[in-house]
Amino acid sequence: MTRFDLSPLFRTTVGFDRVMNALEANARAADEGYPPYNIEKVDENDYRISMAVAGFGEDDLNIEIKDASVTVSGEIAENSDEGRSYLHHGIAGRSFKRTFQLAAHVRVSGAALENGLLHIDLVREVPEALKPRTIAIRSGSASKQIEAEKRAA
């Protein structure tokens, strides 16, 4: 994969720190393919991140929400393989840390570990003040009546 050097952009832009940091983080994450994950749009306001975390238990995983991002990390205790002798060890159990940037008004609503997949449910909750509204159009006689009532008051 081609790596882009974003340092010239840092020198010529002001106030775009968050965007530049997100671009750099995305470029780094593209190089790291572990653990594999899906991002699914369940419906208009619900999303789900599913990560393949075979070999990790609930106690080995951590989900942290900070600012507008959710970070998932996993670390299997070093002594979990004691006493085992593998002929082939193909299930990756290495530590990881993956961060996902959340859009405005998106929050984590829950998480579950099921069949080796960690599911993180997200919901977008747009405040009423930001939702589109429809304005009723009154006929000319109704608006004249409202004007008359305002003058009388």
pLDDT (average), residues 61-88: 86
* pTM more than 0.85: no
For the stretch 10-37, pLDDT in tens is 666 676 666 767 777 666 655 567 899 9
**Interacting residues of 97 by C-beta distance below 8 A, sequence separation 6+:** 71, 72, 73, 74
**Mean of all residue pLDDT scores within the chain:** 82
Cβ-in-10-Å burial (0-12, 13-18, 19+) of 60 comes to middle
